[in-house]
Amino acid sequence: MTDIVGNGCRTEEFIIHDLALIEGGKHKGTLKVAANAMSVIPWVGGVIAVGKSIHNDIEQGKVNRLHQEWLYTHKVKIEELYNDLNDFSQRIDDYHEDLDSRLESESYLSLVRKAFRSWDEAETNDKRRYIMNLLTNAATSRLCPDDQIRHFNEWIDKYNEIHFLVIKAIALSTSAGITRKNIWLSFSDSVPSDDSPDAGLFGLVMRDLNTGGVIWQQRQTNHKGQYLKSKSSTTTASSNVRESPFENVKRWELTPLGREFVHYTMNEVVGRLE
């Protein structure tokens, strides 16, 4: 904590100086992206104000410990904000086309503001990475409509880490799909009993993703791309046991929209998904 005070409020200097370094990038539109990102993160202005207050207190020979503690708790996130914005700028610079008209358009900046509200609320680094990948891909190519980008952003907001573990397991499976049991075993060492809390949570996650349009049971198409009705299987012997949450016959896959979500949020700059 003393390094914040001793260095004359490094956090305040970061906001004023370090973000300005983005100006040196090839695409000047990244400045507007950074400004719009910071405009929707409520504590950024507070960090500047508290930083100045601590600086004045140092000059007067006193330090407000509450302000110092508050500033310290934001130090890591401040650095993460700069790192993500700087990484975004560098990735945009690697793209050779002129992107300034896209970066400076209100349609794109509205995506930026929505995304950084989500970035600020994200519980994990993975979620923040998905958000930054989505923003980069939305900038470098009109891969999909902006409304679809917003919908992907909302999925990132809505789903938790276990949802993303399920999505990744299905995404990494072969074209033959993957069963519920094998999805579970992709991130757990053993299969719990059907009446366990883990089974209940897993069933809830699968329902969330299914009703949300991210995954579905594997289905076949004809030569026109129309989905075929599944053939009803005749059961020779009835059972008094309900289907297990870890059922190991029916196979699951990403929906077309789910595949695009994975493609554009879990990868760096990408081309259109075929």
Per-residue pLDDT of the chain (274 residues; tens, 9 = 90+): 334 444 444 445 555 445 555 555 556 778 889 889 988 988 776 665 655 555 555 544 455 566 666 667 777 788 888 889 989 988 888 876 778 889 999 999 999 999 999 999 999 999 999 999 999 999 987 767 899 999 999 999 999 999 999 999 999 998 889 999 999 999 999 999 999 999 999 999 999 999 999 999 988 778 777 777 776 655 545 678 899 999 999 999 999 999 999 999 998 755 555 5
Which CATH code fits 161-223+242-262?
Answer: 1.10.10
Candidates 214, 120, 126; CA nearest to 167 is 214
pTM: 0.81
Half-sphere exposure of 228 (CA within 13 A, CB side): 10
SS3 per-residue string spanning 122-187: CCCHHHHHHHHHHHHHHHHCCCCCHHHHHHHHHHHHHCCHHHHHHHHHHHCCCCCCEEHHHHHHCC
Candidates 147, 150, 69, 139; CA nearest to 117 is 150
Phi-psi region of 9 (alpha: psi -120 to 50; beta: other; left: phi over 0): left
What residue ranges do the domains of the chain occupy?
Answer: 2-122, 161-223+242-262
